Structures are given as C-alpha cells and as structure tokens.
Amino acid sequence: MTTSMFQASVPVFIRALNNLAGILEKGLAHATARKIDETVLLNSRLFPDMFPLVRQVQIATDTARSGAGRLAGAEFPAYEDNETTFAELAARIHNTVKYLETLQRAQIDGSEGKTISWQSRSSTKSMQGQPYLFNHLLPNVYFHVTTAYNILRHNGVEVGKKDFLGP
C-alpha cells in the first residue's frame, strides 16, 4: 500500500491547526478569567532564545500553508506577521485552514519525487517531496504547535493531551 502524500499532509495540517485554535481559545479564556493582559501570554516564551507564542503560531501556519502549496505546485497566500491578539491568531489559523481545504488530492498525490525548493532564513534549500513532507514539514508543524501548547501550559492554562490531539 502506498502512502498518499495528500492524506499525510493536508488533513494532518488541518487537524493540528484546528487543535491549536482550540488551545488558543483556552489561552484567551484563561487570560480573561484572571484579568491578564493577553499580550503577556502572546509574548511569553519558554526560554529567552526561543520565539514567543505569537511567532510559534505564525510559523506553524506558514509551514503548513507554504509546504502544502509547494507540494501541490500551487500559489499560496502570504500573510503579514502582525498579529497582536488571540482573535487575530485565530483568524490566521482559520484562513490557513480555508486555503488548505482548497487543495485537491490530485494536486499533491504523486509529489513524492518532485523537487521542492524554498528559501530559508539563510539559504535556498531543496528536497524531494516525500522527505520534504516527512522530514521537514510534519516535524516543523508539530514542533511549533507543541511549543505553543507548552508556552500556554507553562503559564497555567489548563490544557492537556486531549486538547493537543483533538476530538
């Protein structure tokens, strides 16, 4: 049985991002109930050299959107990284999921051997489609979703494994 590149990417990204949206909702509820300025949580980080919560969400959505778009050979929207509220981050996630839902199985299946190139902060990188998905995209999306979860958990937001895994 062959692995569907579409099934291993788009539905997985959508699930992770929808679960992240639910985690952020709990973060906002926590801040509201305790009268904490939401920017305190949005700018929180686990360690001084790590990105804050807001950037973790931006990177998770960027990775899912651009990665799936590259696999599909499709244009993908660029977003400004200017979110300053939980509501703006929720809208970013929602817009990313809406974009992912436009991608079709036929656009992505068969991309296993396709050369994918992208610009990182320091250089142009290239990988074949399957290692790009399994060794770059999936680990990065999960890393940044997990880190966002951990930042909120570290700040007392009552989230657990079920929130991360989703329904």
Residue 5 lies in a domain: no
Q: Is 157 a domain residue?
A: yes
β-partners of residue 104 are none
- On the question of pLDDT at 18 being above 70, the answer is yes
Question: What is the residue range of 90's domain?
Answer: 10-165
The pTM (predicted TM-score) of the whole model is 0.96
CA nearest neighbour of 11 among 106, 97, 79: 97
Whether residue 3 is contained in a domain is answered as: no
Reading the block at residue 57, the tokens are 């969400």
Is 4 within the bounds of a domain?
A: no
pLDDT in tens, 61-103: 999 999 999 999 999 999 999 999 999 999 999 999 999 999 9
What is the per-residue pLDDT for 121?
Answer: 85
Q: Does residue 2 belong to any structural domain of this protein?
A: no
Q: What is the number of domains present in the chain? A: 1
Secondary structure string (H, E, C) spanning the chain: CCCCCCCCCHHHHHHHHHHHHHHHHHHHHHHHHCCCCHHHHHCCCCCCCCCCHHHHHHHHHHHHHHHHHHHHCCCCCCCCCCCCCHHHHHHHHHHHHHHHCCCCHHHHCCCCCCEEEEECCCCEEEEEHHHHHHHHHHHHHHHHHHHHHHHHHHCCCCCCHHHHHCC
Indicate whether 143 belongs to any domain.
yes
d(CA 152, CA 149): 5
Q: Do the beta carbons of residue 2 and residue 148 sit within 8 Å?
A: no
Reported as a single tens digit per residue, the pLDDT across 105-159 is: 999 999 999 999 998 889 999 999 999 999 999 999 999 999 999 999 999 999 9
Q: CATH number for the domain including 91?
A: 1.20.120.450
